[in-house]
Structure 1
Amino acid sequence: MTLDVAQAQYAGGGPGHALVRLLGRARAGAPATAPPTLLAADGGRWVRLAAVPGTPVVRGDGAAFGVDFEVPLHLAVGDGQWFLEPGATVGPDPRVASLAARIAALGDEIAALRARVDAGEAAASVPPLAPVPDPEGDAALAAEPDAPSARATPVPRAARLRALRPGLPAVLMAAGALAVGDAVATVVWQEPVSALWASHEQAALNGDLDKLDATYATPQAADAAGANAETVTSPAQRMRALAARLEGTTRAGKPLGKLTIKRIHATYVMVQGTRASSLAKGPGHYSGTALPGQPGTTGIAGHRTTYGAPFRHIDALRRGDAITVTMPYGRFVYRVEGLKIVKPSDAAVLQSATTTTPRLVLTACHPLYSAAQRIVAVARLVSATPRGAAAPGTTA
């Protein structure tokens, strides 16, 4: 064992987990290692928990260390065993020199054996190679793959962790209240890796949308949609025709327009489709629902905690709030009529009350950190301004 654990204490927590801090000291003479992992018994299996991101290496030569782990609540308050496993060696390791010497000796024996075979000596006269002892390697091979390794250190449980058991419902209720509260001015959180990815995708989509706007600003776009000024004089009819063309030519994950919600400070390029690959880029248009400018309901979905979290604060929308959707052929302003919570299987919110009522419906998972329900914002169209090839006076 290279690490001695002196204390385990409860250091905080969050939705569904407790933050456990392990304090101890490295054995004298031990090499520096990467952050250790926590091996916990979970029923009939072992699970390995990595240290929280940013944990520094554990220095050797008897240095003290402190490592934090996010432990699922059912493990934190349970009775299973915990073990601390040192990470990979960082920097010079004295065992490397010993291993190198053994490899060199084995190479010399192989070279001598090859010389004797080449000289025509009988195989019987060749003594067998003596096994090279490796106590640590043999012990590691003998250990069960999913069980604590021979170097693992048992972790003492703190009394404070067991004290969590009676208050577990209160902890869960507090986590849920934090998750679903209107937290515009409080703690704002989103998954950082997916947020970085979404930011990169949005930057690329902005460039693609500029090109799309330029294409739909030409008379040729109106001609291709069968809505040139000579045959269709109404801007509303031209927007409808251009919307139908855009719907029919845009593949999943490609940009359609820009969504702006001032109340929650959200401006995103929206894409076609609501599959995971599309929503990883930004808000996605439900295929099969209308596009702005067409009669019926326009449905748009978005994430609340991952991939930029465009609809994280959708629950802050209020009646009368403006939502603007800018398409290559028009700018459409909607006013929120209300919010509702529905089951994930409830598709009625995406169906129009009539075949001609233009509405906008935004949907997202609810509550935060859960997909148990859907939160729906319903808005009605209050103005439509043609642009690009739909604007009056655009002729070939």
Structure 2
Amino acid sequence: MSVRLIVRTFSELCITVGALIVLFVVYVLFWTGVRAASAAEDQIGTLRDQWARTMAAAPAPSTSPVPPVPSAAPGAVPEPAPAKYRDGKPFAMLYIPRFGAGWEWPILENTEVGTLQKGIGHYSGTASLGERGNFALAGHRRTYGDPFKDFPKLRPGDAVLLTDGTTWFTYRIDWRPYRTVPTDTGVIDPVPRKSGYDGPGRYLTLTTCDPEWGSSHRLIAWAHLDATRPVAEGGPAAFLS
């Protein structure tokens, strides 16, 4: 075999490998985002349709006089009934103003690979939304829409807004994101380990991968439930006012 043939064959092989690498990068950076955006929109549409049907089926408000109900103590947050979520199905919406005005993602039950390709996953077995305990969520930092790309920007006091179609829940971030290893499952305990919380409460844990394009570690953000508000009183903007 001549040197020229060897060089030509090697060059063609390099071109082929380079083309495959480019295609892979396009798939990771672009196509998974397109798929995730479409899947997330489908889940959001499912939720909104479900909530609209629920509202339509609700009985009309009574016109009879209703005796006044004593107001809750200042700062008190009513305890919701524990919810039963359907595996792999959406049940709530998540908004984090720190990540931008248009940032919204559906929350689905479980954290399996297929679920996280459609939105944010709820760790099965952790508390329900607004319930006493730890409502724990996971999302991709990169690929599949990059939902938690800006995770390191979270700061104490930031609002994390969630709704189940009837109630708005505002959680407040308590500390900057904490870095740990994937095997540190105590971060989603009812009282999250190493969180600084010293007793039972109504907590939120957000988790994502670290570094940005790797998965050797996890970034964790913890928050406490600050307030609730019926959806009839307005959306996120009204809730933050």
The structure number with the bigger radius of gyration is: 1
Give the residue type in structure 2 aligned to 1:270. I
Partner of residue 38, structure 2: 200
Whether 1:273 and 2:110 are equivalent positions in the alignment is yes
Contact 1:209–1:256 (8 Å) recurs in 2: yes
Whether 1:310 and 2:159 are equivalent positions in the alignment is no
Partner of residue 320, structure 1: 157
Q: Distance in 2 between matches of 1:212 and 1:288?
A: 24
Contact 1:216–1:328 (8 Å) recurs in 2: no
C-alpha displacement at 1:214, in angstroms? Answer: 2.1
Q: Distance in 1 between matches of 2:154 and 2:200?
A: 25
Contact 2:127–2:190 (8 Å) recurs in 1: no
**TM-score when scaled to structure 1?**
0.46
Contact 1:336–1:377 (8 Å) recurs in 2: yes
Q: Distance in 2 between matches of 1:53 and 1:337?
A: 41
Partner of residue 256, structure 1: 91
Whose relative contact order is higher, 1 or 2, with alpha carbons under 8 Å and at least 6 apart? 2
Whether 1:368 and 2:212 are equivalent positions in the alignment is yes
1:49–1:269 CA distance, 2 compared to 1 (3 A)? same
SS at match of 1:381: strand
Unaligned stretches of 5+ residues in structure 2: 60-69, 192-197, 233-241
Give the residue type in structure 2 aligned to 1:286. Y
Partner of residue 49, structure 1: 17
Q: Distance in 2 between matches of 1:291 and 1:278?
A: 18
SS at match of 1:191: helix
Contact 2:136–2:204 (8 Å) recurs in 1: yes
Unaligned stretches of 5+ residues in structure 1: 9-21, 23-35, 40-47, 55-69, 71-189, 221-232, 389-396
Partner of residue 237, structure 2: none
Give the residue type in structure 1 aligned to 2:87. R
Contact 2:130–2:225 (8 Å) recurs in 1: no
C-alpha displacement at 1:329, in angstroms? Answer: 2.7
C-alpha displacement at 1:376, in angstroms? Answer: 0.2
Q: Which contiguous aligned blocks of 4+ residues in structure 1 show a shift greater than 6 angstroms?
A: 1-6
C-alpha displacement at 1:205, in angstroms? Answer: 1.0
What does the per-residue CA deviation read over 1:287-328, in whole Å, with 9 as the maximum and x for residues that have no partner? 111122211111010001110010111011111111101112
Give the residue type in structure 2 aligned to 1:345. T
Give the number of equivalent residue pairs: 201
Q: Distance in 1 between matches of 2:158 and 2:188?
A: 20
SS at match of 2:141: coil
Contact 2:159–2:172 (8 Å) recurs in 1: yes
C-alpha displacement at 1:50, in angstroms? Answer: 3.8
Q: Distance in 1 between matches of 2:134 and 2:200?
A: 9
Whether 1:357 and 2:201 are equivalent positions in the alignment is yes
Q: Distance in 1 between matches of 2:231 and 2:58?
A: 12
Q: What percent identity do the matched residue pairs reach?
A: 29
Whether 1:236 and 2:78 are equivalent positions in the alignment is yes
Q: Distance in 1 between matches of 2:49 and 2:213?
A: 36
Partner of residue 120, structure 1: none
C-alpha displacement at 1:355, in angstroms? Answer: 7.6
Q: Distance in 2 between matches of 1:299 and 1:212?
A: 23
